[in-house]
Each structure stands twice: as C-alpha cells, then as structure tokens.
Structure 1
Amino acid sequence: MFKIKSAALAALLGLTATQGFAQEVTLRFQHFVSPKSANPKYFIEPWAEKVEKDSGGRIKVEIYPFMQLGGKAPSQYDLIRDGAIDGGWVIPGYQPGRFPEAEAMEMPFMVSKSAEEASKAAWIYTQKHLMDDFQDVHVIAAHMHGRGLVHKKGPSVQSVEDFRGLKLRGPSRPATLLLDKVGATPIGMPVPAFPEALSKGVVDGGVITWEMSPSLKLDQLTDSHTDVAGEQSLYNLYFIWAMNKDVYDDLPDDLKVVIDANSGYFASAWAGRAHDTGDKDGKAIMAASGNEIATLSEAETARIQTLGDEVIAEWIVDMDKKGLDGTALIEDARAAVQITRNPSAPMN
C-alpha cells in the first residue's frame, strides 16, 4: 500500500498534516510487459512523472514492470482491488466472462486502427457502461491498443483459407471467437506467454500489435505480419489504468485533484497515442528485419468482416442470455466510435 511519510511525522510533533508538513505519498503501480514497450515508455512512465511534477513532488509513483510486485497478469485487477498493489495496468479480457460489457469494444472491425481515436471511444463507452463493473477500483483511464495483426511463422496469410489449421494465440474472448470463425485453432494466452509458446511450437503465430512485436522478438520468432485492408482494426484489446479505491479515497483532496487532472478522456487519449507511436516504431523494426509485411486484399478483408459480423451477432445472443442488452451495447460502442470522429467530442 502507499506510504504517507510527513503526516506521521507531523502527528509525532502534535501537528496536523496541513499545519505541519506537506503530505508525501508513494504509490506502487505495476504492469506485465517490458518497460521498453510502447505503453510503459510513452504513457505509464510519463504519466508517473507528470503526476509527481503536478503534485510538487508530494506524490511519487513507482512503476514495476514484468509483475515484479507479484501475481500473474490475469490477476492484476484483483491485486489492485485487494490492495496488494496501489495500481496498475489491467486487461479485463484476461478474465473471460467477468466483464462481458467490455467485450463490445473488442468486437471485430469495431474501432479505428488509430489507437488514440479508439481510446477516446473506449473512455466514452466506459463512462456509460463499465463504471459499475469496475466500482471496486478507481479507474484512471480506459484505452485500446493499436491495430491488431496476424504474426506467424512462414508466409503471410493471403486468404481466409490460409487460416485453416493454424494454431494462433489470441488475447481475449472476442479475438479467439474471430480466429475460430476464420478456421484457425485459437489458443488464449496472456502476452508474456506468447514468445515461449512460439519458440516451443505450441502456436504457429498469433494476433498482436506492431508495437509489442520487438519486445516479444517477433522479428526472430515469426516470418510474416499481415494486416487487413481499410481503416478498421481486425481486432483490438481493451485496457484500464486503475488504482486501489481505498488508496485513492485516502488521499488528501488536493492530491486527488492531481490524479483527477491526469485521468479520464485526456489520459485515455494519451494512452492510445502511446500505442500509435509504438506501432510506427514496431513496424519499422519488423520491416528492417526482412520479415514479410503484407496486407490482405479488400475482397479477403470483406470476407473476414462478414465472419466478424457473425461473431457480433452470436455475441449479442450470448449477452441477451446473460440478461444484458447485446444490441444496445454494440450500438453504444459504435456510437462512441462515431463521437470521437466529431471535433466537438467531450473532453472529460
């Protein structure tokens, strides 16, 4: 849990924190990837630095990569909720079925290939549908990563038929549903497990972003990288950046203001923009390695999109069985995407 230094000292001197010294807080956040990955490099670390600067040094945010504070990536939400860590980066989809409403944003061809645009939509959708789901943590940002592509050993995918028989890693239920629909054998696994699965032949490839490719050594472990045509992403993944609710509630009001000023629409867009920057870097590294960089034809992309529409239709039925309005969730996700293309979109 976070540490308050000066308040305790003030108490020993018979002073209140406001009468004595400024309160100093250390927050311990963790994530599950390399610090050289795009989100930590371009969002998490700069966010921590900005919070420290904006607080006049009264908040220090320590960032621990690779789950160094303990636990596994799929348990990150519970680690934050239970106070094992003060905050961290969460992929709700790593716990399939627990946060079903979040899956609407992850549906095939739902969001733009621009992670910043998709992340703005994610925040808008989160505000409408997910704050109750995440009520036992304090949500700072909700965002999407950049375009999801197919990375595999051997030649690139050129048609729907080329997916057949491939064992492909998928990060979430919507992604694995699509992989199954196109004829691949989906294998769900968190990102830290992907390189070893590739090296041992457990999978033939998988779907992930450009930006994660270098840190996972996909230039060495795979031979080709295939995107779909058009402006919409084949698949995408939904994240939250969150902190323990009690830790946030126990902050003095002026430090809550600092966290709040670095939260919401602004922080979500920033997190998405980090992925866009990382995608450019990652694609350049993959291209420089000599690996094949491919884009499916518009016709084959349309075939996959048709199969993606089937995934969405079946997901709606599944949500309805759970007592949720699946059609409304999809409509609201699409509406959020459209709002972000309007310059007058809300900024908080």
Structure 2
Amino acid sequence: MTFKRLALTFGVAAIFPAAAQAAEIVLKVAHFLTPTTPAHTRFIVPWCEKIAAESQGRLSCQIYPANQLGGTPSQLLNQVRDGVADIAWTLPGYTPGRFPLTEVFELPFFSTTYEATSRALWDFTEQHAKREFAGLVPIATWTAGPYALHFRDRQVLSLDDIKGLKVRAPSRLGNKLLSALGATPVGMPAPQMAEGLSKGVIDGALLPWEAVPPTKTHELTKFHAEASGQYALSTATTIFVMNKAKYDSLPADLRRVIDNNRGRDVSGLAGAELDAAGKLAHDQVVARGNTVYAIPAAEVERWRAASSGVAEEWIKEVSAKGVDGRALHAAAAAFVRQHSN
C-alpha cells in the first residue's frame, strides 16, 4: 500500500486529535514548505499516519510546515541535529559544504528518474556517506524530479539564448551548472522565487515540476524547457532525517516501527509519489497554455559538453578532502544505472 493510499485510509492527527492525545510520544516534524506541497501531502503526512497506525497510536507526529518552529530553510538541519525538531525534511544544498559526498547526485546530466535516483542515493549514502549524517538517522533520501528551466518572457533553445540570463539555482552545483551554461546564477530558496520572478529580479528558475504549482511559478513564467534524453539537466538531493538521540530514546518496539518505515524502498516510494505529482504539475502547466518544450538532443549535447567541467571540479574538491573522488563519482553513477535499468 502506498503512502498516498494510507493517507486516505487513516487520516492525520490534525483531523483526529484524540489519536495524538493518546500517543505516548509525539514527534516534532519540521520542514520549510507549505502544507499544500507534494512532499508534505504525498509523503510526510502519510508517513506519519503509517507509523501511528503501526505503533497502534503510541507514536504520532506534530508537523510544523513553513518553518513554524522558527528560523530559515537553511537552519533546518541544525534544528534537527540540536533537537529543536525530532524529524526534518530539507535540502542539503541549502547548507553548502555539509554533504559534499552525496552532492554528487546534483551534478549535471547525472540523475535519471525520481524513483531510480532516489534508490541510488540511499544505497550510495549507506555505503559511502554515512559520516555525513552524524547525529542523524536517515529515514529517506530522495532526489527532486529532473529539473526544468522556467522563464518569464522568453523561449530559451540554445546556449546563446541563456547567456546572461539571471536564473534561480537551488544549490552550489546548480550555481556551477548555470555559470557553465553562460547564465548568471542567483541562489534562492524556493519560497522566495515568486517575489523574485514577479519583480524581475530573476529571469527564470531551475526547478522540478512538482514544485511549480505550489510556488506559483507557472503563473509567473510562460516558457518551460526540458532537456531531451535519459539524464536530467540537474536535480537536488533531499533528506528526511531523525535526531539520533531521539531515535535512541525510543523503546525497542517503537524503534522497529521507525526502522520498518525507512530505507531504500521508502526512498523509492517518496520518489514515485513526487514523480506522480510532477506529471500532474506538468499537465497543469500545459493546460494553462504555457509553452512547454524539449531542448533538442543535439543542443543538449552542447549543454552537456559545456557543463562537463562541473563534475571534474567536484572530483578534485572531494579528493582534496582525502577521499577518492573519482571512485565515488563512479560508484554513484553505477547505482544510478543499476536502478534505472
């Protein structure tokens, strides 16, 4: 049974407050998105319902969307590590330098589909990057959908067209990709994009489809470019993690409930749910009358060549930290291929 179906089956603690009152342990779950976003409605809420059901009401969640615990999106990681939140969903890219190894999945033309890359990210994390999660218990690691480029008032078909445009990027490697393509990257969390687009601070945004309707990007842009081919122009890693001290404090049977709802399959399921949301968002944008198009394959090869140095730079940076960057790059790519077949 998918998390989405569980959402319909059990309902949430906010709807059934008696269940929350009866719980022995209420987990504070924080993220920076609004309650209408797919990550909230299609994964976080159903996940909370599932652990409540499997613990027979002894576990429940109190969800704090939109940074209701205070702070900014970039502070969520510290909040869960410090115990302000028990569980958090966030983007590692908002805290540059703290997840240098798993960042490999954000390289240009590296990821494929939501579900395949999410499973690959979990396997890579378990085998090569556990140290990046010190003080945390990973529940799920997934990638956003293949990023598309969304532009206010012009159709971008080539490297010449994108040159000099101010484009929102979600992460350090997103910045590097856009710079390699000739654009001017503007680092900006998703909640700030609407204002940036409406005021013309940015000409466009690098964003996955599932995030378009919640951020009203389709209302503020007219042209939406996708890269042809199997590999995505870019993506962002996302993590759903629990404070380790909180996890360790749970009775053994409740830790098993958490363990039964974390891992590769849960990560893949999160990716699948976001994939479904991305397809709906894509159709919504088309129905609105916006121009959605694919950058031709021959031109995509030019973009791939122009951005190839980003991967080499990442390999050098990671190797300078005392690990074999090229071997890690190869291992991550192998996981992507394995789960994409």
Same-fold call, TM cutoff 0.5: yes
Give 1 or 2: higher helix fraction: 2
Runs of 4+ in 1 over 4 A off after TM superposition: none
Deviation at 1:322?
2.9
Q: Is the 8 A contact 2:88 2:241 kept in 1?
A: yes
Q: Is the 8 A contact 2:98 2:132 kept in 1?
A: no
2:50 corresponds to = 50
1:113-134 deviation per Cα after TM superposition (whole angstroms, max 9, x unaligned): x201110001011111221111
Larger radius of gyration, structure 1 or 2?
1
Deviation at 1:314?
1.9
1:228 corresponds to = 227
Q: How far apart, in 1, do the equivalents of 2:27 and 2:64 lie? A: 11
Q: Is the 8 A contact 1:155 1:292 kept in 2?
A: no
* 51-60 vs 37-46, which moves further: 37-46
How big is the alpha-carbon RMSD for the aligned residues of Structure 1 and Structure 2?
A: 1.3
In the TM superposition, what are the counterparts of 1:138-177 in structure 2 within 5 Å?
A: 138-177=137-176
Q: Is the 8 A contact 1:32 1:66 kept in 2?
A: yes
Deviation at 1:323?
2.5
2:4 corresponds to = none
Deviation at 1:196?
1.3
The one-letter code matched in structure 1 to 2:259 is: D
Q: How far apart, in 2, do the equivalents of 1:330 and 1:163 lie? A: 28
Gaps of 5+ in 2: 1-21
Q: Is the 8 A contact 2:51 2:261 kept in 1?
A: yes
Q: How far apart, in 2, do the equivalents of 1:307 and 1:54 lie? A: 50
2:80 corresponds to = 80
In the TM superposition, what are the counterparts of 1:239-278 in structure 2 within 5 Å?
A: 239-278=238-277
Q: How far apart, in 2, do the equivalents of 1:91 and 1:228 lie? A: 23
In the TM superposition, what are the counterparts of 1:1-348 in structure 2 within 5 Å?
A: 24-112=24-112, 114-341=113-340
Q: TM-score, normalised by structure 1?
A: 0.89
Deviation at 1:23?
7.1
Aligned residues: 320
Q: How far apart, in 2, do the equivalents of 1:317 and 1:244 lie? A: 32
Q: TM-score, normalised by structure 2?
A: 0.91
Q: How far apart, in 2, do the equivalents of 1:218 and 1:143 lie? A: 22
1:156-197 deviation per Cα after TM superposition (whole angstroms, max 9, x unaligned): 210111111100000011111010000000011111111111
* 182-191 vs 129-138, which moves further: 129-138
1:315-338 deviation per Cα after TM superposition (whole angstroms, max 9, x unaligned): 212222233322012101101112
Q: How far apart, in 1, do the equivalents of 2:67 and 2:23 lie? A: 28
Q: How far apart, in 2, do the equivalents of 1:162 and 1:322 lie? A: 37
Q: Is the 8 A contact 2:144 2:237 kept in 1?
A: yes
Q: How far apart, in 1, do the equivalents of 2:185 and 2:139 lie? A: 32
* 140-149 vs 90-99, which moves further: 90-99
Gaps of 5+ in 1: 1-21, 343-348
Deviation at 1:266?
1.7
